[in-house]
Structure 1
Amino acid sequence: MVPSVTVTDRTKAHLEELRAKIRLETGRTVTQQELLEWIVLEAVESTDELIDPFRDEFEPLTDDEIDRWLSGTVSSGVETDESDIDRFRYD
């Protein structure tokens, strides 16, 4: 037995539109199942493109939040240049 997947009428209409375009372009008739299988296989090969639309949108910090974050930054009063960093890092 083949499991079924419930899709909306809108999705069915899109599938039928795609099937019609395939038939016009290639002369070949494909079933909805063939089309869905191909779509899923393509999605598996480009997983990042599939997942990205489902990610939460990035919301940058507000100016107040940035100021609050930076208020915890403390100056030591000592100037540091690249040679100091290199000396501490590599010596």
Structure 2
Amino acid sequence: MDEEGKSLLEELQAEIKLRTGKKVTQQEIMTSLLKDAHESKSEVVDSFRESTVPLSEEEREAFHSGMFSSGVETDEDDIDDILYG
């Protein structure tokens, strides 16, 4: 594992300890992550595919075809109120 991976694992380990109060080993974290990845294999495999960015014109049109304007302007405060009450 490279240094970036080790650092990310250590950060995750610290976050688990902070939020749960439980000390877990890096091995336990890796096992849990692998079990989760195994359950969503296709997503993991797809994450290694080459990206198609920028999108083709056809893909861009398909993305925008479902968009519409509600006529209401939304700002950051509105979004915060909706998400956090």
For Structure 1 versus Structure 2, the TM-score category normalised by the shorter chain is: 0.5 to 0.7
| Inter-partner Cα distance in structure 2 for 1:40 and 1:28 | 20
Q: Which residue of 1 aligns with 2:75?
A: none
**TM-score of the superposed pair, with normalisation by structure 2:** 0.58
| Inter-partner Cα distance in structure 1 for 2:52 and 2:19 | 40
Partner of 1:35, secondary structure, is: helix
- Let me know the Cα RMSD of the aligned residues: 1.9
Partner of 1:20, secondary structure, is: helix
Which of residues 30, 35, 50 in structure 2 aligns to 1:36? 30
| Inter-partner Cα distance in structure 2 for 1:58 and 1:19 | 34
Q: Percent identity?
A: 40
Once the two structures are superposed, the pairs formed by residues 1-91 of structure 1 within 5 Å of their partners are: 7-58=1-52
When the two structures are aligned, how many residues end up with a matched partner?
55
Larger radius of gyration: 1
Gaps of 5+ in 2: 57-85
| Inter-partner Cα distance in structure 1 for 2:33 and 2:4 | 17
| Inter-partner Cα distance in structure 1 for 2:13 and 2:41 | 24
Gaps of 5+ in 1: 1-6, 62-91
Q: Any runs of at least 4 consecutive aligned residues in structure 1 with deviations exceeding 4 A, and if so which?
A: 58-61
